[in-house]
Amino acid sequence: MLATRIIPCLDVQNGRVVKGTNFLNIRDAGDPVERAALYDAQGADELVFLDITASHEKRDLMFDYARRVAEEVFIPFCVGGGIKTVEDFRRILKTGADKASINTAAVTNPELITECSRAFGAQCVVVAIDPKKTGNTPSGWEVHIHGGRTPTGIDALDWALEMEDRGAGEIMLTSMDADGTLAGYDIPLTQAVTQRVNIPVIASGGAGTLEHIHDAVTAGGAQAALVSSIVHYGTFTVGEIKDYLAERGIPVRRV
């Protein structure tokens, strides 16, 4: 069994790490470069750096911030937000990132995932999926884009499978209903997606306790857990999360 990855997520807006609830009510959580260095030192397995308003505001990615974060860490590093073309993807990797995450552009141009996977390898391509419970799709989970602002009518389970077929190496699955609530990951959603695809799924949205993370990687079947509020505001360190999982028989990487 592969080690479960603990991945702090740096949602960045106007040059600051922020965190909201259900994608709203944004509050400050610090400097992205300082946070990246802290989580690297705590033993994080990877980092995710997301420019959360780039697609909605139709502007360029913050390449300089991505580059500065990449200079501070020595672990795999994913950047997302506003990627629209293969050239955008290439520029992100040139900042020093190991992976790039695509959400909105994957929906507006699904062929982009195929092109990026062929150009850079599936291991670099992370597709972010932001589902919300609605009555508009067969599974009940509808994909949203533009930072959760725009419903698409696309079924989240079918979309995850299509993204795998198009060459995505990983799914970053953020429940809009659970995000920032500290009430736990959406386990039924996570389980449904992990059972539908054969690529790794990163559970995201809702971690408030150590038990929530344990549930995501056991009952939910996720290969990794994205964490933000639980580490940004000092509730737990990455090391404490890993100690908890290891004590319960979950393989984790130790520094």
Positions marked active-site: 11, 130
CA atoms of 6 and 116, how far apart (whole Å): 25
Cα(46)–Cα(221) distance, rounded to whole angstroms? 19
Contact 224, 214 (CB under 8 A): no
Determine the Cα–Cα distance for residues 102 and 148; give it in Å rounded to an integer: 13
Instruction: Give the residue carrying structure tokens 């698409």.
Output: 152
Nearest Cα to 191, choosing from 212, 160, 219, 168? Answer: 219
Angle at 125 between CA 122 and CA 126, to 5 degrees: 130
Name the strand (E) or helix (H) holding 231.
Answer: helix 229-232
Decide: 83 and 100 in contact? Cβ < 8 Å.
yes
